[in-house]
């Protein structure tokens, strides 16, 4: 199954690498502030930003130790991103990202780690892309990206 999902990720360009949405309440509280009506991303509080930056820094270090050097960690009011070099295939990125995400026990509570358009994004979704059984919510995925299809590559918590 893992090979099929990696292939699907390469085909559709959107992979939910890991989702921690259904793992209970966020330890830092959730922000009700919307990032805009067309976005599935919540505006991050200071505490949430710190938690996501800490997790992403360790994730980025793991990716580098596996030979996948990501761009600098970039922070906005709604998400963190790391660019992916054009020399890497989607399958390589998804495979390594799944391994590194799992080594950390998945992303922080209530967050999603997504690969799309040569970027790895970490954010707090307004609506989780996966249900508690790990099935994709197509409506949520289409809000997160113009791609309707996605591949689930890592555990959901």
- DSSP 3-state assignment of 122? strand
Alpha helices in the chain (DSSP H): 2-12, 46-65, 90-103, 138-144
pTM, to two decimals: 0.68
- pLDDT of the residue at 116: 86
Neighbouring-strand partners of residue 75:
80
Q: Is the pLDDT of residue 74 over 90?
A: yes
Per residue in 83-105, pLDDT (tens digit) is 999 999 988 998 999 899 999 99
Per residue in 43-71, pLDDT (tens digit) is 999 999 999 999 999 999 999 999 999 99
DSSP 8-state code for residue 151: E
Confidence band of 38 (pLDDT split at 50, 70, 90): low
Other residues' Cβ atoms within 10 Å of the Cβ of residue 23: 17
């Amino acid at each position: 199954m893992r090979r099929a999902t990696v292939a699907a990720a390469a085909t559709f360009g959107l992979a939910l690498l890991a989702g921690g949405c259904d793992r209970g309440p966020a330890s830092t509280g959730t922000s009700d502030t919307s990032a805009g009506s067309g976005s599935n991303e919540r505006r991050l509080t200071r505490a949430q930003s710190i938690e996501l930056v800490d997790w992403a820094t360790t994730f980025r270090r793991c990716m580098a130790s596996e030979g996948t050097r990501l761009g600098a960690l970039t922070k906005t009011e709604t998400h963190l991103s790391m660019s992916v070099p054009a020399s890497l295939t989607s399958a390589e990125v998804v495979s390594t990202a799944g391994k590194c995400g799992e080594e950390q026990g998945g992303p922080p509570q209530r967050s999603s780690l997504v690969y799309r358009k040569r970027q790895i994004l970490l954010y707090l979704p307004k609506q989780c892309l996966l249900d508690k059984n790990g099935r994709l919510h197509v409506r949520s995925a289409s809000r997160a990206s113009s791609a309707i299809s996605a591949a689930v590559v890592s555990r959901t918590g």
